């Protein structure tokens, strides 16, 4: 099938700004689903609010566009009632870790079989460029005209500590790599988190003098390095890309089934 | 394996927003933005069918169509 077969073409061209990394992530995600040969009706995409959340409207799967930050809560409900479906939750950085921070850590703790895609552009794009918990210190935003002083969450470390069983990171620049990690994450049984660094040229790029989409993508290339690479060893300041964790732990729906079985025995 | 040969670089002009990502990252400089800021393939003969433009296009507007292998050649 071609990429277009997975899209609701009537909503295109999409609403994302020119050069927005979210479009590339949608591209990578569709290719991952295509490579896995999944049927469109096997997939549920649940999203919250924000630029990233609009993704669920563009894909021709079962989709739920829900409350800000609560996509994982809705996804948990979907998964528990229909465990045979693949549930994918694309989220923005604020959606996942500010408004939905609690849902994120608890979904990870339960190890419920959901794929969470954190599309991290380090800013609230839709509402006009406020800083998010992933912006980090020293970043200009509309709510931080003299630069931020807040440290950022490390999505990978947070997900690992909270109990996720598959954690990976890639960027919009490394589209093929991102597709590979998304494939692994979707196939993984348990809570999987893929952080994909995205670029927001409209707000983040402009305020922080990172230039247009092309130069922001160049930064994805120069500021990151593959896990275990020489470049990362020589310069630990770089952001690591790769699969950080891939382990097995009892999955929530399976454990729940066992409880039902036990209770039905009377 | 024989070299991949380009059949067509299909660019959806209605979807293209002219961000220039495809133009900048094409290893063979096949693409350019035209006067309307839409991507066009100006040197399709140089295309090596790496599909980097198609994979990175945030507007999902590019499709690299590859010629099917011809057995009789």
Classify residue A216: in a domain, yes or no.
yes
CATH of the domain at B20: 3.30.70.20
Please tell me the distance from the alpha carbon of residue A93 to that of residue B9, in angstroms, as a whole number: 34
The answer as to whether A172 is a domain residue is yes
The answer to whether position B1 is within a domain reads no
pLDDT number for residue B70? 55
Q: What is the 3-state secondary structure (H, E, C) of A125-162?
A: CCCCCECCCCCCCCCCECCECCCCCCCCCCHHHHHHHH
Q: By residue range, what is the domain housing residue A29? A: 18-224+236-264
pLDDT digits (tens, 9 = 90+) for A78-113: 999 999 999 999 999 999 999 999 999 999 999 999
Question: What is the domain range of residue B19?
Answer: 6-66
Phi, psi of A139 (to 5 degrees): -115, 140
Say if residues A24 and A172 touch (Cβ distance below 8 Å).
yes
Q: Does any domain span residue A13?
A: no
What does the pLDDT read at residue A194? 98
Q: For an interface test with A, which of B17, B54, B58 has the most A Cβ atoms less than 10 Å from its Cβ?
A: B58
Per-residue pLDDT for B72 more than 60? Answer: no
3-state SS of A179-227 is HHHHHHHHHCCCCEEEEEECCCHHHHHHHCCCCCHHHHHHHHHHCEEEC
Domain of residue A169, CATH code: 3.40.50.970
Q: What is the mean pLDDT of residues A43-59?
A: 96
**Of A3, A18, A214, Cβ closest to residue B60:** A3
Q: Decide if A27 and B19 are in contact by the 8 Å CB cutoff.
A: no
CA distance A90 to A122: 15
Q: What is the pLDDT of residue B69?
A: 60
Query: Residue B48 falls within a domain, yes or no?
Result: yes
Number of domains in chain A: 1
User: What does pTM read for this prediction?
Assistant: 0.95
How many structural domains are present in chain B? 1
The mean per-residue pLDDT over the stretch A54-79 comes to: 96
Chain A residues with CB-CB distance to B60 below 8 A? 3-4, 7, 12, 14, 23, 26-27, 30
Query: Looking at the complex, does the CB of residue B25 fall below 8 Å from at least one CB of chain A?
Result: yes
Average pLDDT, stretch A208-224? 95
Of A96, A115, A148, A94, the closest CA to residue A45 belongs to A115
Among residues A98, A50, A103, A94, the alpha carbon closest in space to that of A75 is found at A103
Contact: B55, A213; criterion CB under 8 Å: no
* Average pLDDT in chain A: 96
User: Residue written as tokens 């996720």?
Assistant: A164
**B45 SS3 class:** helix
The DSSP line for A38-72 is: --GGGEEEEE-SSTGGGHHHHBSSEEEE-STT-HH
Does residue A4 fall inside a structural domain? no
Peptide bond before residue A13 is cis, with ω within 30 degrees of 0: yes
> Does residue A21 sit at the B interface (CB-CB below 8 Å)?
yes
Could you tell me if A228 lies within 8 Å of chain B, comparing CB atoms? no
What pLDDT sits at residue A85? 97
Does residue B40 sit in helix, strand or coil? strand
Residue A129 covered by a domain? yes
Interface test mutation site (partner B, options A3, A6, A10, A18, max chain B beta carbons within 10 A): A18
**Looking at the complex, does the CB of residue B27 fall below 8 Å from at least one CB of chain A?**
no
Indicate if the pLDDT at residue A266 is higher than 80.
no
In a domain, A58, yes or no: yes
Q: What is the pLDDT of residue B4?
A: 83
Interacting residues of A51 by C-beta distance below 8 A, sequence separation 6+: A16, A20, A22, A92, A121, A125, A126, A200
Nearest to A27 among B19, B20, B57 (CB): B57
Residue A48 falls inside a structural domain: yes
Share of chain A above pLDDT 90, in %: 98
Q: Is residue B16 part of a domain?
A: yes
Each residue of A54-63: pLDDT tens digit?
999 999 999 9
* pLDDT tens by residue, B1-11: 567 889 999 99
Query: If you average pLDDT over residues A127-132, what whole number do you get?
Result: 95
Residue A246 near residue A189 (C-beta atoms within 8 A): no
Q: Is residue A255 domain-resident?
A: yes
- B55–A26 CB contact, under 8 Å: no
Query: What is the mean predicted confidence (pLDDT) over A227-242?
Result: 95
């Amino acid at each position: 099938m071609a990429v277009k077969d997975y899209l609701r073409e009537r909503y295109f061209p999409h609403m994302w700004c020119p050069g927005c990394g979210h479009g590339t992530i949608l591209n990578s995600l569709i290719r991952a689903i295509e490579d896995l040969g999944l049927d469109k009706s096997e997939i549920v995409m649940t999203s919250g609010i924000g630029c990233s959340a609009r993704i669920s409207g563009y894909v021709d799967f079962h989709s739920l566009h829900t409350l800000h930050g609560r996509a994982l809560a809705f996804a948990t409900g979907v998964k528990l009632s229909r465990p045979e479906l693949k549930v994918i939750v694309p989220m923005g950085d604020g959606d996942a870790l500010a408004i939905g921070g609690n849902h994120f850590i608890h979904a990870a703790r339960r190890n419920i079989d959901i794929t969470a895609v954190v599309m991290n552009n380090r800013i609230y794009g839709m509402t006009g460029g406020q800083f998010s918990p992933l912006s980090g210190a020293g970043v200009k935003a509309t709510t931080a005209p003299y630069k931020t002083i807040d440290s950022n969450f490390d999505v990978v470390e947070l997900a690992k500590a909270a109990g996720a069983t598959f954690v990976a990171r890639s960027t919009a620049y490394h589209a093929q790599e991102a597709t590979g990690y998304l494939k692994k994450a979707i196939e993984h049984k348990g809570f999987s988190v893929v952080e994909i660094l995205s670029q927001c040229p409209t707000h983040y790029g402009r305020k922080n003098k990172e230039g247009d989409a092309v130069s922001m993508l160049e930064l994805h290339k120069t500021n990151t390095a593959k896990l275990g690479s020489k470049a990362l060893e020589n310069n630990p300041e770089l952001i690591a890309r790769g699969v950080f964790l891939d382990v097995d732990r009892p999955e929530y729906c399976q454990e729940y089934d066992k409880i039902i079985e036990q209770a039905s025995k009377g | 394996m024989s070299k991949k040969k380009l059949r067509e670089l299909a660019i959806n002009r209605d979807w293209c927003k002219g961000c220039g990502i495809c133009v900048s990252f094409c290893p063979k400089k096949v693409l350019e933005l035209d006067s309307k800021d839409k991507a066009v393939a100006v040197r399709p003969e140089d295309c090596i069918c790496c599909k980097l433009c198609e994979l990175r296009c945030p507007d999902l507007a590019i499709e690299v169509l590859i010629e099917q292998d011809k057995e009789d050649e």
